[in-house]
Structure formats: structure tokens, C-alpha cells
Amino acid sequence: MQHFWVVGTDTDVGKTIVTTMLMCHLQKQGLKVSPYKPVQTGEVYENGRGYYHDTAMYEKYSLQKLQQEHLNSYSFREAASPHFAAQLEGQQIDVNELLLRIQLLQASYDVVICEGAGGLFVPFTAPHGMTLLDVIVSSKLPVVLVTRTSLGTINHTLLTIEALRSREVDVLGIVFNGNTGSRMEQDNIQTILQYHPLPYAIILKLQNVSQLMDYAMTHTTLFERLFNYETSIN
């Protein structure tokens, strides 16, 4: 098994849900797995306490006890691009620190799942302009790409794959998230796969996160295409 990134074509495409699903899927196979969100933004306040959605979801659904200090390096209150959210708090993201943390985590776990922030060209630093894609390239890890099935996904997905391949980043597969089964969505999926016949998984549009996690745990073949299994998706 190898370590990898989960990246998206945009923000709010389901990277955290897919990261959590993959974490549980691999943990269920007996592997020691840790998700890692290098940078997260947008603190949520609820019932008088603040938390961050991404790392909270990892901890809620993990089948193994997670070490909090291994889940994240930078958390910023403002829901904004990482470089700007950091500026608002008088900080700057140290990309070398992120890469070192990824290396250290790889030595401690069977699988480390690094979750990106936004799309590939989201800047982590300014004015030098180091992007998420630069961090991915430097990490030398492959990616699982999460995308929508709705209108606009063909352009966004093909552009993202072209950007990854132009930087020689290996794409393990695509997760199509939020499928409702419409004819347009099915054509969107097939059109993308005609351009790039990659391994893929399709996640149905369900009502809430708990339903999604139940779906992932009961459909054991959901992600097998992404990891060189022979069984097809149910």
C-alpha cells in the first residue's frame, strides 16, 4: 500500500468525505492509517466551542484512535485561501515544515492520506506563490482526484488532470461525488473517462455524512478500483 493525496477540482467537492471514507476503508483492512490535513481554514463555532470540520470528521469516524498532533499543521480561523487566512493572523505557512511532517508520518503509518485545500492552484505562501500543486510535486506522492458529477465537471476535471500530468504527478483514480443518476451526470462521467480512462469510484448523493459513511462501510468494493483490485464497484 502507498501513501497518497486526496485533491479536488475545487472547494466543497467532497475531499474530506472521501478522505474519511478511504481512511475507514483501509483501516477496516487492518492497516494503520492516518489522515493529514496540512492546512485547514474556517473555524466552526457550535454550542460555545470552536472546531475545524475536516479534522473533527476524521476523529469522529476513524476506526482507530488518531493522534491529534498528526492530523494537521496549520489551522486558521478565516474561511479563505490558506495564504490569506495565514496573513490575517500574522503568520506564514512554512512549506518545508509540511513536507517534513509528511515524511515523518510516512515512517509511522502504513498509509498516510494527505488532504488538499481547495483546488490545485490555491496558494499556500505569498508573495512567492507556492501552491498546493507545488507541495504535491515536492512530496512525490500520487493523488486521488475528487470531482463533482454536475454541470461544469467535464472542464474542471480535465483541466485538473492536465495540470497534474504536466507536473508528472501520478493520478491513482477519480472519485465522482454526489451522483444523482441523471442522464447528464452519467454522460459527464463517461466523457471524462473517455479522455482519461482511469480507475474510478462513484459516490451517490445521500442526505447526510452518517449515511455516506454507512454507505462506504457496507459497500466494501466502493474504492477497490483505486487500489488495483479486480472486483468492480457494486
Active site residues: 37
How far is Cα 145 from Cα 147, in angstroms, rounded to an integer? Answer: 7
How far is Cα 74 from Cα 38, in angstroms, rounded to an integer? Answer: 6
Residues belonging to the chain: 234
How far is Cα 26 from Cα 44, in angstroms, rounded to an integer? Answer: 28
Please name the residues in contact with 2: beta carbons below 8 A apart, sequence gap of 6 or more.
111, 141, 142
DSSP H helices, 15-172, are: 15-27, 53-61, 82-88, 95-106, 132-139, 153-166
